[in-house]
Homo-oligomer: A and B are copies of this chain.
Amino acid sequence: MEMGRVGRVRSAFSDLRSGDAALLFRALPESLRVDILLTLTPPIAADILEELPDDLAAALVMQISPESAAPIVQEMRTDEETDLLQDISADRAEQILQRVEERDASVARSLLAYHEDSAGGLMESDFIAFSEDMTASEAVQRLRQRADEYEEYPASYLYTVDKNGRLVGVLSLRALIMCQGETPIDSITTRDVVAAPAEMQGQELIKLFRRYHFMAIPVVDASERLIGVVTQDDALRFAEKDADEEMLRLTGIVGGDEFRDMKLRSRSWRRLSWLSINILLNVLAASVIAFYQETVRAVIALAVFLPIISDMSGCSGNQAVAVSIRELSLDRIAPRNFFWVFRKELAVGLINGLVLGLIVAVIAWLWKANVVLGLVVGAALWINTLVAVTIGGLTPLLLRRLRQDPAIASGPILTTLTDMCGFLVVLVLASHFVHLLH
């Protein structure tokens, strides 16, 4: 009875593609997941763990014993295995590694040394390389012998290495299939190959994929030895994760992903670390108003327009920030294009500031039947839109020049400066014309 049930669960999962099996698995109630995972054969359990979001996979593995985890972890693709071992506690990772085959464990330990967003961290260390002195038919023979294993390899590229394991070139399966058996593979190897050093950053790798459209890029260590392969699939996943994280950083969620099923303390803390800096900057900006409180008391309508000017300048500036971050990430601009960006934003600021200034001027004039009030708030919004779009456009360039992350710091810098400037312009103008504003 019990055996029949186990068999049915196993076959339900094994009939599915691993992506679908992971979806089914995630649809299970949380209380059942550990038991079901242990019911499955290690290869299928490994497929599911590979497809689950990293944080969920790590949480599951922490709930099962190292003895049960080891055979599953051993079946995982090396890059996924490394991600998982990095996401669980170091103690538990070590306990699991002590229980996998020595050869696999030492590979995993060496991969753990790379940063997860570097070529070394993204690569798979399973690949097929032939010695440069083989013939095409010897190579095909070897592929046939290792057919099962080879089916697991992600890309169709084969590599040629010298006797020290140094990368000689790339050998396409197409070239291999289309040449005569006695052809030395050396003669069909493409030597002009783009390889990534293990330390290369993920973003740089994406640029290589974007520029050359390779299906995979080989990764080499400091002695040019072939140590792994990054596939387009790895690049796609990194690019999506990177874009998502940039979006989150733009709104001040730092330290990587936030998912709502993470611990409350960590979610709260990540958001707060940025908010608490922001509130101090906000107080700094608003202190400008404190210096002019008598002007505000005399012209109380200003209390209505101050938040509008602050908010609208923030919006205009953030548009310019987003365009700059985008153009930086696509290499369409660089910090040296400072004055070009300045001129381009100045032109937009002049037009948009004029339009927004007119709208707010007409509203103020109609509301208080005071044309001077309209002119003061309209002119202030015009000037401040100009300031906001130029600061917004240029801040990401400056931060990039200073080797800081434009996505996380641009927003707070922008809003503090534009708020201060906006409040100052309104209040200086208003205090100058205060006798006309009653």
Residues of chain A whose beta carbon lies under 8 Å from any beta carbon of chain B: 17, 19-20, 22-23, 51, 53, 140, 143-144, 147, 150-151, 154-156, 173-174, 176-178, 194, 206, 209-213, 215, 232-233, 235-237, 239-240, 243-244, 246-248, 250-253, 257-260, 264, 267-268, 271-272, 274-276, 278-280, 282-283, 285-287, 289-290, 293, 296-297, 300-308, 310-312, 314-316, 318-319, 321-323, 325-327, 329-330, 332-333, 340-341, 344-345, 347-348, 351-352, 355-356, 359-360, 363, 367, 415, 419, 423
Chain A interface helix/strand/loop/mixed: helix
Interchain CB contact (< 8 A) of A275 among B178, B252, B312: B312
| A19 in contact with B211 (CB, 8 Å) | yes
**What are 14 of the A-B contact pairs (CB < 8 Å)?**
A143-B177, A143-B178, A210-B236, A244-B326, A248-B323, A258-B323, A278-B311, A278-B312, A279-B308, A282-B311, A290-B304, A293-B301, A310-B310, A314-B314
Interchain CB contact (< 8 A) of A351 among B268, B276, B359: B268
Whole-angstrom distance from the CB of A308 to the nearest CB of chain B? 5
- Bound CA span A236–B51, Å: 18
- Bound CA span A215–B310, Å: 49
- Bound CA span A151–B258, Å: 43
Tell me which of A244, A248, A359 has the highest count of chain B C-beta atoms within 10 A of its own C-beta: A244
Closest 6 CB pairs of A and B: A243-B243, A19-B211, A251-B322, A156-B156, A260-B344, A303-B303
| B174 in contact with A156 (CB, 8 Å) | yes
- Bound CA span A271–B297, Å: 35
| A275 in contact with B156 (CB, 8 Å) | no
Whole-angstrom distance from the CB of A349 to the nearest CB of chain B? 9
| B311 in contact with A359 (CB, 8 Å) | no
| B356 in contact with A276 (CB, 8 Å) | yes
- Bound CA span A285–B296, Å: 19
| B327 in contact with A308 (CB, 8 Å) | no
| B177 in contact with A156 (CB, 8 Å) | no
| A252 in contact with B315 (CB, 8 Å) | yes
CB closest chain-B residue, reference A326: B244
- Bound CA span A182–B261, Å: 55
CB closest chain-B residue, reference A416: B311
- Bound CA span A131–B139, Å: 29
Neighbouring B residues of A147 by C-beta, 8 Å: 174, 178
Neighbouring B residues of A355 by C-beta, 8 Å: 272, 276
Whole-angstrom distance from the CB of A11 to the nearest CB of chain B? 16
| A319 in contact with B271 (CB, 8 Å) | yes
Interchain CB contact (< 8 A) of A356 among B257, B279, B318: B279
Neighbouring B residues of A247 by C-beta, 8 Å: 243, 246-247, 250, 322, 325-326
| A327 in contact with B260 (CB, 8 Å) | yes
Known contacts A177-B177, A211-B51, A303-B302, A415 near B311 by CB under 8 Å? yes
- Bound CA span A204–B398, Å: 37
Interchain CB contact (< 8 A) of A311 among B174, B206, B301, B314: B314
Interchain CB contact (< 8 A) of A19 among B213, B215, B252, B305: B213
CB closest chain-B residue, reference A208: B19
Neighbouring B residues of A340 by C-beta, 8 Å: 260
CB closest chain-B residue, reference A348: B268
Neighbouring B residues of A345 by C-beta, 8 Å: 260
- Bound CA span A352–B415, Å: 20
Known contacts A312-B282, A319-B251, A264 near B348 by CB under 8 Å? yes
| A312 in contact with B279 (CB, 8 Å) | yes
CB closest chain-B residue, reference A360: B279
Neighbouring B residues of A258 by C-beta, 8 Å: 323, 326
Neighbouring B residues of A348 by C-beta, 8 Å: 264, 267-268, 271
Neighbouring B residues of A285 by C-beta, 8 Å: 307
Interchain CB contact (< 8 A) of A236 among B239, B244, B301, B322: B239
| B360 in contact with A283 (CB, 8 Å) | yes
| A276 in contact with B306 (CB, 8 Å) | no
